[in-house]
Amino acid sequence: MKQMLFNTDYFYEQFLDYKNNTKTDKGHPFHNLFKEEITHNIRFELEKLHMRNLDRIDIKASTGNGKIAECFWIALLDKRLTTNPNSKKTSTQKGIYIVILFAENGEDFYLTIETGTENLSLSEIKEEAHIWRKRLKPELKDHKRLEGFYIGDFYLGKSVRPRKYVASSLVYKKYNIFNFDHHSFIKDINSLNDFFYDFVYEIYLDQDFTPKEEHRNKFKRKRIIHRDVYKQLREERAKQNEETGRIAEKYVYDMEVEQLLAAGQEQLAEAVNWVAETEDGHGYDIKSYYPDGKEKLIEVKGSKLTHQDFQFFLSEQERMVAEEEKEAYVITLVESVGTQHMKIIKEIQNPLGKDNLLLKPTQYSCRIRVD
């Protein structure tokens, strides 16, 4: 028998009784059910799935601060992304996190990714969320881990706080306590969490991220993360990028071999060399060939996400080799790495010779003579 997170009839009965109060009541059965039992059950079920970074996550619930809130929530707060520097505690007012939002009717609830709304007006929240939502739209198409999720607004309650929660939601999925499957819901949290960290590492940590059309907007909030925490997240991102790159390279290598075999070039297919598998520093990852025998030096850039604007980095070595090899040099972009929808979305031949790339310096070599 599958474990239930809570008894739905009992939950709703106690919810209605609890809502009759004007102030939060720690002695009420619902208070303990919502803030202790359900959060404990959620963590317990997620532990069974070995959810990513669960050891770094606080699971907190709220029914209001003194006064009973119109909208209740249960949040999964990564301590590195949501800790208030003043209180040293995790908070929904800062950073980015996953949260379960319960509507005022007590029946409908939503699993969402939210951004902190501290000191922001409703219009500012909407403007910032619009940027993120626009970037996330491609992720909803054909991606099983976000199956059933949507981008847009929904209803929690009529007061300002619920409206702010809705406005700051980036993606959401709707449930009803009387007909949702508890086991599937836990799997949805796990899937969303997996996507959440891919999004954080690839997009959210990029302080320069702004979609092309958003330059008209005056509002752009800087994402402030403690230096030590940012370093830790960058290190995790580097490890993920290495894994993503390896999977993408293997995918491209296999595709090159298959294409040459399909063209009847068995000898060329056997000569394809995944050089980055054993050595680094060549300025490319795979030495392959075109069906006519010409060399094809491939630098693979992979992402776990889908893209409209694919941002990637070139090392100085890669740039120099691309400049030297010209037509033989190809940058291959792979999206949705590690998923069933992984695919090559573009091959850029001679990337520096046709104004194919918009290059932006990200660091400078400096030297000073000290007398």
5 has a pLDDT exceeding 80: yes
Residues 196 and 77 in one domain: yes
Residues 40 and 189 in one domain: yes
The helix or strand, by DSSP H or E, that contains position 58, with its residue range, turns out to be strand 57-65
Residues 165 and 44 in one domain: yes
Give strand pairing partners of 75: 60, 99
Model confidence at 307, pLDDT cuts 50, 70, 90, reads: confident
Query: Can you give the pLDDT at residue 1?
Result: 42
Burial of residue 371, with CB atoms counted within 10 A of its CB: 0-12 exposed, 13-18 middle, 19 or more buried: exposed
Residues 258 and 126 in one domain: no
105 close to 14: Cβ distance less than 8 angstroms: no
Query: Can you give the pLDDT at residue 309?
Result: 75
In a domain, 231, yes or no: no
Mean pLDDT of 259-285: 95
Task: Count other Cβ atoms within 10 Å, centred on residue 121.
Answer: 13
Residues with Cβ within 8 Å of residue 66, at least 6 apart in sequence: 23, 24
Residues 112 and 181 in one domain: yes
Query: Can you give the pLDDT at residue 221?
Result: 54
Task: Count other Cβ atoms within 10 Å, centred on residue 214.
Answer: 16
Q: Whole-number mean pLDDT of the chain?
A: 88
Condensed to tens digits (0 to 9), the pLDDT of residues 34-93 reads 999 999 999 999 999 999 999 999 999 999 988 999 999 999 999 989 988 777 889 998
Mean pLDDT of 18-29: 90
In a domain, 200, yes or no: yes
70 close to 24: Cβ distance less than 8 angstroms: no
153 close to 167: Cβ distance less than 8 angstroms: yes
Residues 185 and 260 in one domain: no
Q: What's the structural domain count of the chain?
A: 2
Q: Are strands 295-302 and 329-335 parallel, antiparallel or unpaired?
A: parallel
Look up the domain containing 211 and give its range: 8-216
Structure tokens at 208: 């320069």
Residues 155 and 255 in one domain: no
